[in-house]
Structure 1
Amino acid sequence: MTVTLADVAARARVSPATVSRVLNGNYPVAASTRERVLRAVDDLDYVLNGPASSLAAASSDLVGILVNDIADPFFGIMAGAVQSEIGGLGSVGRGGGEKLAVVCNTGGAAERELTYLTLLQRQRAAAVVLTGGALEDPQHTAAMAAKLGKLSRAGTRVVLCGRPPISGDPGAGDHPDPAVLAFDNRGGARRLTDHLLALGHRRIGYVAGPPGRTTTRDRLEGHREAMAAAGVAGDQQRLTVHSTYGRSSGFDAARELLRRDPELTAVVAANDTVALGVCAALRDQGLRIPEDVSVAGFDDLPFAVDAVPALTTVRLPLFEAGARAGRLAMGKEAPPPGGIATVEAELMVRGSTARPRE
């Protein structure tokens, strides 16, 4: 029996119009209501069994690319690289050929991730590529695993680029697992802090990303592993400030770190954009880089080498990883052994780090 919009509305205890608004994303809906509707959609398999999707079993010419913030070069580079590989021979779906890439900007919000995946499932997307770190929330992780499992069972190729594997799909085993390109955030962060320690730094502040995200945890853990191995980890809680991944956040965080310890000799930033804010705050306090305070970032975004001084950072091959994710999504490249490949991080030593002042 075909599941209808009215069935979903009855299950979610809302009007059919509200269900339509949630699925189309064209009208604001309360988060609790959206959650009920999406749960009803999943429970009833409305997207898989509804009239629109029952017209054909094949995938469409649509490829979804999920990003946290398209204005952030970290995500923009990967999204552009994915799109560069979409189209031509070897594409998934009937007849191969060109595909339409749709970039879905989630803002890092859990409900937006699920909503976009539901919309892409409804459109029978040929492939979905999820970029960047994941939220560390067990309930959301379980919901994502179930949603990605349904996409895979419907014939959609799923690729994770820069985020860890997602486990916990109750239907696991009856569909292909997502291909995973996992960034070595922990190893890169440890090598970066090891570099500062080798220069002689011991009073090192750390500007972490927002809590509750895998990228934040991995980079912070790598930093603290290096500090612990050097026997200088005792004050790390006080010398860590969490922020968003923006320049202004780096500025504010650096001022707070200097308030906590005016004798800091180095600051490690969650990413290169945050590092620019850190540099601005240090200069605002009359401090020189690197003569008074060394500064390091992460990602090696295009502007890092043009900063003054050029920024010491960790290079993630964002374009190369995004292009590979695009090839995996289009079936142009075989999945890595075991479905998971680690994307190595490379230390880039430049002018923003030096030995600490005497």
Structure 2
Amino acid sequence: MEVHTADETMARTNGRAEEEGFEMAVTLAEVAARAGVSSATVSRVLNGGYPVAGGTRTRVEQAVEELGYIANAPARALAAATSDLVGVLVHDVADSFFGILAGSLQSALDPTGPGEARRLAVVCNTAGDPAAETAYLGLLEGQRAGGVVLTGGAAENPDHTAALAVRVSRMAAAGTRVVLCGRPPLPLPAALPVATITFDDRGGAFRLAEHLMTLGHRHIAYLAGPPGLSTTRERLAGHRAALARHDPAGSDACAALTVHAGFERSAGYDATRELLRRGRPFTAVAAANDTVATGAAAALREAGLRIPEDVSVAGFDDLPFAVDTAPALTTVRVPLREAGLLAAQLVTGRRALPPGGITTLPTELMVRGSTAPPTAGRRRP
């Protein structure tokens, strides 16, 4: 029986990769050389659980990113094709917005024709953390995922955007189909087959605010999402544009009645209590999403205010529970199921990329019982 050392085995593996025309993978030693540390130190940083000085860890992580190192490099170098794995990155799997989107996508991944392979969808919960998003992409790259779908608003941080663009470019160039869903496109080379699905968030927010203005509301509180998120920026811009059209001098009042908060029910409740404490009058509340709107409604009722007699309330997304609130919630419908289906078609190659790689799905105003004209006999918040 022939026995080889680990170094000899690695050399033979690398030789086979070169003979068969595969791109050579970056080695642990190359990362160590770039960072100016030992291979053992690189291994400690990658494996975690070992004490490594902060500056050393930063140098290693930077070298890993710059070189595109992926764990289990020999296996990667010998991989002839991508796998049947499809990674789906979501902000919060417990949020109905992402649950509907991911569920629709996974259902649409089932084989549609004879001989088509079944794909394994893996949902990665990032909690909206840019670092977690990058880390999951690294793991999926290491698994040679056949497809990746990044959902939800993008963190508008230049460093994160640049790092994300590098990683997505590398994955797409290696054969992974990448779809950005519900976020703006990345600055990528035009030749890369990366698809982008966007929602008309700005137009939807504009139509919602215009609906409230048409009813007669002029003091509209706005519960915006977290700052630094593309979805927050787009929806807030649409809201402000509608108010400016009806009242060009009302920008100061709009700013005073705007509160940034999270996308959870508790965030809507706390933000509305903050607006009530400020004492500035308002006759309507427009929330960043339906979940936030339910929290706002709870805070208003707790303060003895009726909906919509005293304060109108509106949301965004048109999640399933919106029609079951009392009264039913006026909101903006985002086509989540349609987006999931389209993302599945794009990530599997069943549908060709559109010109420019970008598809914008329309949003729709859904007028229900939670909004009404302000009345003279209403109770003031």
With structure 2 as the length reference, what TM-score do the two structures score? 0.86
Aligned-residue Cα RMSD (Å) equals 2.4
Give the drift of 1:84. 1.1
Task: Report the equivalent of 1:39.
Answer: 62
Tell me the distance in 2 between the aligned counterparts of 1:317 and 1:311.
Answer: 17
Tell me, in whole angstroms, the C-alpha distance in 2 between the residues paired with 1:195 and 1:145. 38
Instruction: Give a deviation string over 1:253-282, Cα, whole Å, max 9, x none.
Output: 011112224521000001000000000000
Equivalent of residue 174 in structure 2, options 154, 159, 173: 154
Other structure's SS at 1:235 match: helix
Residue 58 of structure 1 corresponds to 81
Count of matched residue positions in the alignment of Structure 1 and Structure 2: 348
Question: In the alignment, is residue 354 of structure 1 matched against residue 380 of structure 2?
Answer: no
Amino acid at match of 1:187: G
Out of 91, 94, 99, the position equivalent to 1:68 is: 91
Question: Out of 318, 332, 340, which is 1:300 matched to?
Answer: 318
Q: CA deviation at 1:314?
A: 0.2
Q: Which has the larger radius of gyration?
A: 2
Separation in 2, partners of 1:31, 1:104: 27
Partner AA of 1:83 in structure 2: Q
Q: Which consecutive residues of structure 1, in runs of 5 or more, have no partner in the other structure?
A: none
235, 241, 260: which one aligns with 2:259: 241
**5+ residue gaps in structure 2?**
1-23, 377-381
Deviation at 1:323, TM superposition (A): 1.2
Contact 1:35/1:111 (8 A) holds in 2: no
Partner of 2:12: none
Q: Which residue of 1 aligns with 2:196?
A: 180
* Separation (CA, whole Å) in 2 of partners of 1:211 and 1:33: 32
Out of 135, 141, 162, the position equivalent to 1:142 is 162
Distance 1:28 1:123 in 2: 27
- SS in structure 2 of the partner of residue 328 of structure 1: helix
Residues 258, 264 of structure 1: 8 Å contact kept: no
Q: 2:351 aligns with which of 321, 333, 343?
A: 333
> 1:175 is matched by which residue type in structure 2?
L
User: Who is 1:215 aligned against?
Assistant: 231
Q: What SS class does the counterpart of residue 313 from structure 2 fall into?
A: strand
- SS of aligned partner of 1:63: strand
Which letter maps to 1:72? D
Question: Aligned partner of 1:41: which letter?
Answer: V
SS in structure 2 opposite 1:120?
helix
Identity of aligned residues (%): 60
Cα distance per residue 1:43-74 (max 9 Å; x no partner): 22323992121112300111100001111111
Q: Answer yes or no: is the 8 Å Cα contact 2:25–2:76 preserved in 1.
A: no
SS of alignment partner, residue 139 of structure 2: helix
- C-alpha change, 1:120 and 1:240, in structure 2 (3 Å) is same
2:300 to 274, 279, 282: 282
- C-alpha spacing 1:339/1:284, structure 2 compared with 1 (3 Å): same
For 2:147, the equivalent position in structure 1 comes to: 127
Q: Secondary structure at the match of 2:346?
A: helix
- Distance (Å, rounded) in 1 between the aligned partners of 2:344 and 2:134: 21
Contact 2:183-2:196 at 8 Å conserved across structures: yes
Q: Give me the whole-angstrom Cα distance separating, in 1, the residues matched to 2:116 and 2:335.
A: 28
Once residues 77 and 285 of structure 1 are traced to their aligned partners in structure 2, the CA distance between those partners, rounded to angstroms, is 33
Q: 2:43 — aligned with what?
A: 17
- Structure 2 residue matching 1:292: 3-state secondary structure: coil
User: Are 1:273 and 2:263 matched, yes or no?
Assistant: no
C-alpha separation between the residues in 2 aligned to 1:356 and 1:186?
25
**Distance in structure 1 (CA, Å) of the matches to 2:53 and 2:341:** 37
Give yes or no for contact 1:246–1:274 (8 Å, CA) kept in 2.
Answer: yes
Query: Is the 1:313–1:349 Cα contact (8 Å) retained in structure 2?
Result: yes
Q: 1:105 to 1:162 in 2, by over 3 A?
A: same
Q: Tell me if structure 2 keeps the 8 A contact 1:239–1:260.
A: no
Q: Structure 1 residues 212, 84: closer, same or farther in 2, change over 3 A?
A: same
Q: Return the offset for 1:161.
A: 0.8
After the TM superposition, list the runs of 4 or more consecutive aligned residues in structure 1 that deviate by more than 6 angstroms. 26-34
Contact 1:204 1:266 survives alignment (8 Å): yes
1:151 counterpart letter in structure 2: M
Between the aligned partners of 2:195 and 2:57, the Cα distance in structure 1 is 29
Contact between 1:68 and 1:108, CA under 8 Å: does it hold in 2? Answer: yes
